[in-house]
Structure 1
Amino acid sequence: MANFNTSVDASNPNLAANSASSSSTSTTGPLVIVTILFFMWGLLTSLNDVLIPHLKAIYTLSYVQAMLVQFCFFGAYFIVSWPAGMLIKRIGYQRGAVTGLLIAASGCALFYPAANSGYALFLLAFFVLASGITILQVAANPYVTILGDAKTASSRLTLTQAFNSLGTTIGPAVGGMLILSGALLGADQIAAMSAAEQAAHRAKEAATVQGPYLALAAALAVLAILFAFARLPKIEHGDAPEASSAIAAQATTSIFAQRHLVLGAIGIFLYVGGEVSIGSFLINFLGEANIAALSAADAAHYVSYYWGGAMVGRFIGFAVMRSVSPGKALAFNAAASIVLILTAIFGHGSLAMWAIIAVGLCNSIMFPTIFSMALHKLGALTGQGSGVLCMAIVGGALVPFAQGYLADQIGLQMSFYIPVVCYAYILFFGWKYAGMYNQANNSNHS
């Protein structure tokens, strides 16, 4: 999945000073721990795509009801991000990361009683888990920058983001093997059972999540212990004089007066929503008789291809965008996504299946590109702008919900018009930014 976090600027003089002061201490061990954190929250996020069809079948949910999983999970980003920042400011980054890990571990542990209680407790578990991940991201990101030489910070960021993508890639495959190994019954088969048989069936299928999520809870708890005792440099923020004067000069400027930031925030909202929505419905889509008629367990492996495409695409995008403007690259990928989704809507069989999976490849550059374009030349308002963009991740909660409603009304295949609308806006934003980019270049050369 897209790395839904922002990293501290490697050029920040305050962080660089802290890094230099800790140069005598080996940073390999702490960097390994932080990299594992990136891997873990990628894996945990992509497991949602496996659990959604699983819970939908167990509790005979509508698509809208099933999408409450993403509503609760990504809603936590919107609700918890601001309090998380205040918490980190109060207790520090290292303790904040430990707190986030323990809360995430508690969320995973909640899956055990949820299997015996019902869907509502599952939703609470998703919210608690995502709250922990949100706190963890706010606290852990700066360490990637300061754990080593500032000159190599970008390479460390690339490494940790690659492991995040690795987590999102293997998560669905592992989840499919551990959670979806049994054949799920259809709604008509469950309806034919007696009340006692239905209860027994639901309890049996729900229990398949207990072992994997208890193991994840234990892993997160171990990471919390390791992070608590790791010798990490202390992060302290102090505004340089020139930064303070710049902030004072822009104090009267409203962040929402920055048009490209507002357009970028809408882009982040729709991109995250579209990407998460496709992943959320992918197993059910591949199970359709006119698409691939795959079992949930078999379809889960193809979800890994969807997220793996994004990982591969980042390397391709890195090379291509050295000579192509960000806006044009973004517009091209959005246009390709629209064509692929329309192919999945109107096609059938393997053509429709591979078309929707290939959208993952196009997703690769979108989040970081939209994010960087939206923050372009914000100066002292960059921090506020970053906060606005992070809150826009709530699109992952609302867009799948909208597609779920449409799927219940007109069918699953036609419901993919929702992601088409999302990518159409991203096409507009990329093309508009490409024009602004060219104008800026022309003015610089004139």
Structure 2
Amino acid sequence: MPQSSQTSPNFRFAFALITSLFFLWAFLHNINPILIPHLKKACELSDTQSALIDTAVYFGYFLIAIPAGWFMHKYDYKKGILCGLLLYAVGSALFIPAATARSYEFFLIALFIIAAGATFLETVANPYITKLGDKDTSEQRLNFAQSFNGVGAFIAPIIGGQFILSGIEHTPQELQQMSADQLNNYLSYEAGTVKVPYMIIAAVVLLVGILFIFTKLPEIKEDDADSEKKSFSMRVFRHRHVTWAVIAQFFYVGAQVCVGSFFIRFSRYTMDLPEKQAATWWGAIAMVGFMLGRFIGTFLMKYIQPAKLLALYSLISIVLLTIALFTTGSIAVYALMGVPFFMSIMFPTIFALGIKGLGEESKIASSFLVMAIVGGGILPLFMGMISDRTGSIQAAYIIPLMCFLVVFFFGWKGYKIN
């Protein structure tokens, strides 16, 4: 793409609009640490049952990623974005009847539809950003765009903590002493707090969709775009770095979700921190660190190879989780809040390294990398099981620690193109 076209006002506006999509799927993922304890309370769930929130979201990614990649391959990037935004808005609107019915199954269906929309957005936006400029700086460009994903990660738990969590926490004994009507009114009130936030989310997503309809996006033409059979098939796994990228992405996303989804429960267990305060800490400290980590990581990549930085950050995350596992009180909580800073560069760096040098095949590779996000729906279930069986949510954090070992290997050796 010519340099002059990259500096035009139309290009900059289109780039900014594409970047806004990173905020939307970040909001989906980072509102889950609020929804998990909230719906656990409102729908009277166990830890394992509440972890199905992550499962619904990430299985949406797993099942829709290939259709989304095929749709993008057959049509174009813009139509894929519009389809994703429509699904996202519909799923958000369905939260209103789900809350009225206080149906956990209905909530899971709504989350699955939102996730289907987010899958289209991620499958399109991640590779599109890497193509908008010099191939040698694709990792930096994707990390920069993903920095605004960090903004969504920072804002979501704060908004959720303020407008979804009520701060009303009853002990099991207090709930047993309530009459049937009192209990039903309390649970209905808790479920209903999601209505206004998700109504606003649906409206904002539709507005973004309208902006896309009237915006001309820069066209991307791959050198091997006419090679139909080669470009969209399982043969992409003949590239060793693609295989390892998909494996690393599975375990990274699993680790990210595990670290965040049970943070409120972890904080209550290790230092008796109230849920609203824990949500604020996660948003105002941990997710700010995540956001800053993206910007700082993008800067550091000018001087440190992305793969080496990925390996280093993985090791630091392992050390912090070890501290969180074997200490108590504020030290354990602060160690866990430090992990997001070092997680920040992992998803975009794995993604960019995984599709490097693929040309038109980057579309199918992108689909598999997005499918790998299903790790976020599987590994938290194991955390929930460990917590339910041992009575310790802290012990369950061995799961993300092990995941970062896989990410380290990818940054050490797995990324290399053969």
| TM value normalised by structure 2 | 0.87
Output the CA distance in 2 between the equivalents of 1:389 and 1:90. 19
Residue 280 of structure 1, CA deviation: 0.3
What is the match of residue 318 of structure 1? Answer: 298
Q: How does 1:41-190 map to 2 (within 5 A)?
A: 41-89=25-73, 92-117=76-101, 118-140=103-125, 144=129, 157=142, 159-190=144-175
Amino acid at match of 1:58: A
User: Which of 180, 187, 193 is the matching residue for 1:202?
Assistant: 187
Output the CA distance in 1 between the equivalents of 2:125 and 2:409. 34
Q: Find out whether 1:277 has 2:258 as its counterpart.
A: yes
Output the CA distance in 2 between the equivalents of 1:147 and 1:328. 24
Output the CA distance in 1 between the equivalents of 2:351 and 2:179. 52
Q: Find out whether 1:256 has 2:237 as its counterpart.
A: yes
What is the match of residue 271 of structure 2? Answer: 292
Output the CA distance in 2 between the equivalents of 1:158 and 1:261. 19
Output the CA distance in 1 between the equivalents of 2:175 and 2:271. 23
Output the CA distance in 2 between the equivalents of 1:399 and 1:378. 30
Output the CA distance in 1 between the equivalents of 2:78 and 2:361. 26
Q: Deviations over 1:298-333 (max 9, x none)?
A: 111122222222222233333444444444433322
Q: How does 1:279-358 map to 2 (within 5 A)?
A: 279-288=260-269, 291-304=270-283, 305-358=285-338
Q: How does 1:384-395 map to 2 (within 5 A)?
A: 384-395=364-375
Three-state SS of the structure 2 residue aligned to 1:287 is helix
Amino acid at match of 2:366: S
RMSD: 3.4
Q: Deviations over 1:211-232 (max 9, x none)?
A: 111111111122222222x231
**8 Å contact from structure 2 (residues 143, 294) kept in 1:** no
Residues 318 and 142 (structure 1), Cα distance of their counterparts in 2 relative to 1, 3 Å cut: closer
Residues 360 and 349 (structure 1), Cα distance of their counterparts in 2 relative to 1, 3 Å cut: same
Output the CA distance in 1 between the equivalents of 2:10 and 2:37. 45
Output the CA distance in 1 between the equivalents of 2:12 and 2:153. 24
Amino acid at match of 2:51: M
Output the CA distance in 2 between the equivalents of 1:399 and 1:345. 17
Residue 190 of structure 1, CA deviation: 2.3
Q: List alignment gaps of at least 5 residues for structure 2.
A: none
Residues 238 and 343 (structure 1), Cα distance of their counterparts in 2 relative to 1, 3 Å cut: closer
Q: Deviations over 1:351-378 (max 9, x none)?
A: 0010011011111222233334444566
Q: How many residues align?
A: 415
Residue 45 of structure 1, CA deviation: 2.3
Q: List alignment gaps of at least 5 residues for structure 1.
A: 1-15, 441-446
Output the CA distance in 1 between the equivalents of 2:127 and 2:3. 11
Residues 318 and 32 (structure 1), Cα distance of their counterparts in 2 relative to 1, 3 Å cut: closer
Amino acid at match of 2:343: N
Amino acid at match of 1:42: A
Q: Deviations over 1:370-412 (max 9, x none)?
A: 3344445667754443332222111111111111111111120
**8 Å contact from structure 1 (residues 314, 364) kept in 2:** yes
Residues 113 and 400 (structure 1), Cα distance of their counterparts in 2 relative to 1, 3 Å cut: same
> Which structure has the larger Rg?
1
Larger deviation, residues 362-371 vs 411-420: 362-371
**8 Å contact from structure 1 (residues 345, 416) kept in 2:** yes
Q: Find out whether 1:38 has 2:52 as its counterpart.
A: no
Three-state SS of the structure 2 residue aligned to 1:412 is coil
What is the match of residue 359 of structure 1? Answer: 339
Amino acid at match of 2:121: L
Residues 189 and 18 (structure 1), Cα distance of their counterparts in 2 relative to 1, 3 Å cut: farther
Q: Deviations over 1:246-293 (max 9, x none)?
A: x87x999944344443233221111110011110001111122xx232
Identity of aligned residues (%): 37
**8 Å contact from structure 1 (residues 18, 234) kept in 2:** no
Output the CA distance in 2 between the equivalents of 1:42 and 1:388. 19
Q: Deviations over 1:420-444 (max 9, x none)?
A: 111122233333359x69xx9xxxx
Larger deviation, residues 363-372 vs 389-398: 363-372
Three-state SS of the structure 1 residue aligned to 2:194 is helix
Output the CA distance in 1 between the equivalents of 2:400 and 2:137. 37
Output the CA distance in 2 between the equivalents of 1:151 and 1:372. 11
Amino acid at match of 1:115: A
